[in-house]
A and B are shown apart, each in its own frame.
Chain A
Amino acid sequence: MNRVSVEHLTDPAFLASLQPLRIVARRVVRGGRHAEHLSRQRGSGLEFADYRAYTPGDDLRAIDWNIYRRLGRVFVRLFEEQQDLPLYVLPDVSSSLHFEPDSPRARACLQTTLAIASVSLNQHDRVGIFPFAEELRVHEAPTSGKNRVLPIARRLAEVEFKDQTDLCSALRRFGAMNLRQGLCVVVSDFFDQKGADAIVEQLGQLRHRLLLVQLFRKEDRDPDLQGDLRLVDSETGEAENVSVTPELLQRMQTAYDQHQQALVDFARTRSAGFLRIDVDQPIVPQLAQVFEEGALQV
């Protein structure tokens, strides 16, 4: 079966290592639930935001009587509303992540998904999981609750890796869901046959804040291949007969680098996060490097 063992996702040490991590949103849009992220909405939070003149109907408890005593005018104190940041994780479950022995890419993909989801759930955020390959599926509707980590892990273990990557279609479908603005995390190798430009175009149309997590192995760019080879695509099954020469290898690396550069440029211009995770290395330390000082600013 093209699945990842649930033990890889429910390892206590793995889950415990996620506790110090948190995601900090600069602002979240109004309309969410009460949570830990600052909202543009003024409300009953703890952080003082501003004063404004009293108008009938305002909560009398918000009147600042010291101001009234000094100035003789009635003002009410405004506080920052703390709301949740919806998290939408789009893990890539195409067959390109599950063709190698031990499937390190698939395991890393789901661990990364679970890690980010776990961090958000610990912050009382709502988390939705939308795995995709050729199509986008709603695996977990956006809900919150700290106790949902293990159920999500078990559900993720049921995900089957198959079909080709069609990230563009998946992003289009996700954008059409018209979900509340939040943080959209795409966990993928970003190897869509339509190319990096098409991916970037679809990403640019999303209204959410973006975090792009690219899974990679070193041999993706520096393969240890020599001689006459029949390279078979892990997703499409299409084969290319190549005679690997230094020149050809260099051209392949140039194409790979151009693909990467397109994603990096997009992330920079869009102020999106871009994280590369080596699937052959432990996941959490790599995530921790991105969560600078324990928090990821988005």
Chain B
Amino acid sequence: MNLTNLSPLGLLLGALALAGVTFALQILRVRHREQRVVTTMFWRQALQEERVRVFRERFRHPLAWLLITAIAVLSWFAYARPSIDREPDMDVVVLVDGSAQSSVDELEQDLATAAGIARGLRNDERRVFVLSSSARCLLDSGEPVALLEERAEALGPASTHNTIDRVLPGLVGTGDRPLRVYLVGRQDLRSDTVETVQAARGGEVEWFRVLGKRGDEPADPAPSAEVLGFGVDPTFGVLATLRGVEASSVQLFFDGQEVLEDPAVRSVSVTAEGVESLLELSWSSPSAEPGELELSVAGVTTRATWPGQTTTNVALQFGASSSAIRAAFRQVIESDATLSIVAEAASADVTVGDDAQADLRLVASEGGRSTFHFQGLGPAQLQRIVTRTGLSDLDADALATTLGRPVTVGSEEVGPRQVSIDRAVFDGDARLLESRVFPVLARESVHWLANRSSAPRRAAVGVPIDDLAGSSIARLDRGASDEITRIETLGLPFVPSASGRHRALEGQEFEVSLQTSAFVSAGLATTAEIEVVDPPTQGPTLGLDRWLLLIVLTLGVFEWVSVRRGRMP
């Protein structure tokens, strides 16, 4: 017996409904039909005689009771959705393209096609997923198809690319049973993905493409001009990835000025099998000021916001005995395009040194003071700053052994932001300067002291950002600073689900692009040939629960007819 698709609340409500129905039947049963007679005195005498004779009401209408009991029990049994335990013949996975490649109407048609496929299959052998940046299960095995229609009601295409090649191997997993995969829509599948899945499933995999109503539409003979991705990445400078586009038809504007002629803007055109042309547009040294970017391809304009690039001035104030440390900090700061070294502390945003007034200062060991101390930081943010500065990756045991005392990280909420580091960690055998943690610690500490985020980072849809685990992420509207969505990652790595500008709780902003290296390589890889088939026309199969409901219905009709004919009270 399968009750897995019922929540406890649903089960309770069902039981109450059943109780209500039987109660209503009982009320109907004791409701007497009115009949006028010439006199009731003989009936009254008969009833008085009957009441005197018996101690309790006799068991009346055994046939009616049996019928009601059968109806109630069969209803309850059907509600429990019993199923005969037998292994399904095969696993069927139905994949619907929910990425930006599908329009709203197309997705709606594809979902209807998927529901039709699901109806023709046994409940325990099919699953339906909609694919965008990740795979979302619309119908798990054993669930009724009605759930799919309910879940798909508010579903629309996501502003992401399709990650079918990345998620499909994980979806189908491994197993001994044959596998059948329905690709609904025109989503492409790489040949190597097909090979990976077939290897995992022992080769017994059938691939079908179902176009549904799309099959009535003429297929695109060749990819038309299409902007696969358009985003801003100041670090790497990649602006857009275009397919089916000639470089001569591309125009790039920054605040209304065409910048495609800028030598810093370059385009790379590649050709691969299955893809006529793939154009990657880059801008290696964008403007420091914020502005609006417009990409025009064959008359179609796409816009994005360039947040600008600001520089933090850092002054290094170390004594002569700290030349090695000074050099290490200088190297770190110079490697960050958003940090700049100035000579005068007065013109610096952040000062680093062994001076007592420095924002990031090296201090002598004191009893009871933390090895790494952050002033102006609440205890709630301590864990986050430990992660951000790389201290979480520090080999604290080895360092404590070297120092001969525990390595601690502390914080103090009161006071301006200041970072104190026990100087001992740079001396002797501790060698923090040589640790891989130091560059992160130095750079992120400076950014934190400047109350700025790190340099805008590159992020891509569907690619997890581990160091934003447990953060609260705000998605910002394109071209505006209004927050439209806030995402709580609940301790898990943040996985961008849509392109656009985002901002973390710490103020760090980053642009999420549609493009990833995997995406580009997908365009370059060979696309698998999938056989196009018509949607399966097999009608829905009647499960045991449906048969039980039919029996209940028949019994109900029988009772109604019996009551109407006076054969049953």
Contacts and interface: CB of A to CB of B under 8 A. Distances in A.
A241 B39 contact: no
Nearest to A99: B36
Contacts of A191: 38-39, 41
A229 B44 contact: no
Nearest to A230: B32
B37 A231 contact: yes
B255 to A, nearest CB: 87
A217 B32 CA distance: 24
Contacts, number: 93
B42 A255 contact: yes
B395 interface: no
Interface in B26-44: 29-44
A256 interface: yes
B40 A233 contact: yes
Contacts of A220: 38
A231 B50 contact: no
A141 B45 CA distance: 39
Contacts of A232: 34-37, 40
A107 to B, nearest CB: 15
B47 interface: yes
A189 B39 CA distance: 10
B82 interface: no
A227 interface: yes
Contacts of B32: 228-230, 241-242
Contacts of A228: 29-33, 569
B566 A226 contact: yes
A130 B559 CA distance: 53
Most buried by B among A195, A234, A249: A234
Given A193-B41, A252-B42, A230 B47 contact: no
Interface string A168-203: 000000000000000000000101010100000000
Interface in A225-256: 225-236, 238-243, 247-249, 251-256
B60 interface: yes
A4 to B, nearest CB: 17
B37 A223 contact: yes
Contact of B49 (A230, A233, A251): A251
B569 A240 contact: no
A223 B49 CA distance: 19
B46 interface: yes
B39 A235 contact: yes
B42 A242 contact: no
B43 A231 contact: yes
B569 A226 contact: yes
B402 to A, nearest CB: 95
Given A226-B566, A227-B566, A243-B60, A233 B45 contact: no
B569 A243 contact: yes
Contacts of B37: 223, 231-234
Given A228-B33, A232-B34, A248-B50, A242 B43 contact: yes
B43 A252 contact: yes
A253 B38 CA distance: 14
A231 B38 contact: no
A136 to B, nearest CB: 20
Most buried by B among A223, A242, A248: A242
Contacts of B47: 240, 242, 248
Given A99-B36, A193-B41, A229-B35, A248 B46 contact: yes
Interface in B423-453: none
Given A232-B37, A240-B47, A255-B45, 8 more contacts: A230-B34, A232-B35, A233-B39, A235-B39, A236-B40, A239-B40, A241-B32, A251-B46
22 contacts: A96-B38, A191-B39, A217-B38, A225-B35, A226-B566, A226-B569, A227-B33, A228-B30, A228-B569, A229-B35, A230-B33, A231-B40, A233-B39, A238-B40, A239-B34, A243-B569, A248-B46, A248-B47, A249-B46, A251-B46, A252-B43, A254-B46
5 pairs of A and B residues whose beta carbons are closest in the complex: A230-B32, A251-B46, A227-B569, A252-B46, A255-B45
Interface of B: 29-47, 49-50, 60, 563, 566, 568-569
